Chain A
Amino acid sequence: MILQMDNIKKSFDGLEVLKDISFEVDKGEVVSIIGPSGSGKSTLLRCATFLETIDGGEIRYMGQRAAHTDENGQAVYVSHQELRHFRSYCGLVFQQFNLFPHYSILKNLTDAPIHVQHRSKEEAEQTAMELLGKMGIADKADAYPYQLSGGQQQRVAIARALAMKPEILFFDEPTSALDPELTGEVLKVIRQLADEHMTMVVVTHEMPFAKAVSNRVLFMDGGVIVEQGDPISVFENPQEERTKQFLRVFEH
């Protein structure tokens, strides 16, 4: 088990965004999370990657506890130092890429491995070039983010996350900020990673993609997981009325 989240609760200003959600990811699994906006999908990812702190529940990576609820019902996290260690388990690809505009593509990929993980420059650059090659943008190593198309920038962002050698990679609507003709190249890369059994959790609105690539699909609505299962059963034979209603919008 790579990630285990139990009874996660999260509110923003009294509004419950995650209501007692439990969720786990096995090694090599590809999980898609679908659902209407405001259903808590992104918040779940942000809690899993420690960008948001949970109000209650437990988070474990590789069996080690990163956060839990104490006897007073308060969520407590491990120390800052230890949290950085937990962060090294997970990578996150943002909707808006969030590349560093002042760094070349190569430096975007090597800066954190060198300065956070203290790897040698040679090793970091070699890894970076391999990843860029895999993403089909090795020729862009010396370019700057603004010189790249959205699809290329997102592939750099994926490579940047992979350069940290995470155990699990999260995607927060990776194609939502892209022009339709550019989504394909990004989805292709994610599919390729799935074929290599990279453990991934993808929040997405691309239903055909979710259906084709994932081992498991979660449908979230109103801060709860309404339904989950293998893609065929969730997409073709949904049990819950709310799921059917949501999927109907995507037909035709």
Chain B
Amino acid sequence: MDISTMFSTMSVGMLRSFGIFVLTLVGSLPLGMVVALLKKSRFVVVRAITSAYITVIRGTPLMLQLLVWYFGPFYLFGMNIGNWRFPALILGFVLNYAAYFAEIYRGGIESIPVGQYEACEVLGYTKTQTFMRVILPQVIKRIMPSVTNEVITLVKDTSLAFTLAYQEVFSLAKQISASQTSFMPFVIAGIFYFVANYIVEFVMKRIEKSMGYYK
């Protein structure tokens, strides 16, 4: 198998890795905000459940969480769900990343001076207006560096999908390497992750720059 054949075989895996990446972000970026706001709820029970969720997610390996989501329904409840592999995978990724994003959001929200809230209150803004018009835009600017960190980690974490035998780029690299007794698939996979993160960095820098018009 020559390099170009390897590459084209692996390109299917690259698309799948990209799919995990996009779906995880689409799910976890908004869900993280929901979690962050639930953690600031005025109900003790809601706060306790949210805290427990974040602690458990952050305290256990993502690889283990993926296995739990995939095998859990069968071993715990005897359920047989058809085509469960991919949904389990995305569920695991989204719930995991939402917990981390929630903590980033919370840190950002808490870093906004109380004077901003008071100014809004005196001017008669509603709570929703205060959050959407004044607090959130400032939070987003402040948390961009931490979000970039998470997004870069996510690019590399998509390789954990091999745990569920999902044929993304890393799984394919391993298979092709074994069958062809070649080191080349790993080099290709490595370049893929590196280039992907290079693009992520570039895009995030642009976004940060676009918010640089104020301090």
Give me the interface of A with B, judged by CB distance under 8 Å: 49-51, 84, 87-88, 90-92, 94, 96, 98-102, 111-112, 115-117, 144-146, 160-161, 164
With contacts A51-B118, A98-B119 taken as known, whether A112 is within 8 angstroms of B141 at the C-beta atoms is: no
Known contacts A94-B118, A102-B138; is-contact A145 B214 (Cβ 8 Å): yes
Q: Is the CB of A87 within 8 A of B124?
A: yes
Task: Decide if B133 is an interface residue (CB 8 Å cutoff).
Answer: yes
CB distance from A44 to the nearest CB of B (A): 15
Shortest beta-carbon distance from A51 to chain B in Å: 6
Chain B residues with CB under 8 Å of A115's CB are: 125, 129, 133
Please name 9 further chain A to chain B contacts, defined as beta carbons within 8 Å, in addition to the given A51-B121, A146-B214, sorted by A numbering: A84-B124, A91-B122, A98-B115, A99-B119, A101-B138, A101-B214, A111-B133, A117-B124, A164-B123
Cβ contacts under 8 Å, A96 to chain B: 113, 115
A87 and B129 CA atoms in complex are apart in Å by 16
A117 to B125: give the CA distance in the assembly, Å.
9
Report the separation of the CA atoms of residues A98 and B114 in the bound assembly, to the nearest whole angstrom: 9
Give the size category of B's interface with A.
Answer: 20 to 34
User: CB within 8 Å of A: which residues of B?
Assistant: 113, 115-116, 118-119, 121-126, 129, 133-134, 137-138, 141, 213-215
Interface centre among A49, A92, A99, A102 (most CB of B within 10 A): A102
CB proximity of B120 to chain A, nearest CB, Å: 8
Docked Cα-Cα span, A111 to B133, in Å, equals: 9
Pairwise interchain contact B119-A94, C-beta atoms closer than 8 A: yes
Q: Are B129 and A116 in contact (CB under 8 A)?
A: yes
* Contact, CB under 8 Å: A51 / B122: yes
Contact of A112 among B115, B116, B123 (CB under 8 A): B123
Contact call A101/B215, Cβ cutoff below 8 A: yes
Partner of A146, one of B119, B123, B134, B215: B215
Residues of B close to A92: CB separation below 8 A: 122
Given A111-B133, A116-B129, answer yes or no on A102-B124 (Cβ-Cβ < 8 Å).
no
Q: Is there contact, CB below 8 Å, between A88 and B124?
A: yes
Asked whether B124 lies within 8 Å of A100 as measured between CB atoms, the reply is no
What are the residues of chain A within 8 A of B115 when measuring CB–CB?
A: 94, 96, 98
Which one of B122, B126, B213 lies within 8 Å of A49 (CB-CB)? B122
Q: Which residues of the other chain, B, contact A50 by a CB distance below 8 angstroms?
A: 121-122
Q: Which chain B residue lies CB-closest to A49?
A: B122
Chain B contacts for A88, CB-based, 8 A? 124
The reply to whether A100 and B134 form a contact with Cβ atoms under 8 Å apart is yes
Query: Which 4 pairs show the lowest CB-CB distances between chains A and B?
Result: A98-B115, A98-B119, A112-B123, A146-B215
Give the chain B neighbours of A101 by CB distance below 8 A.
138, 214-215
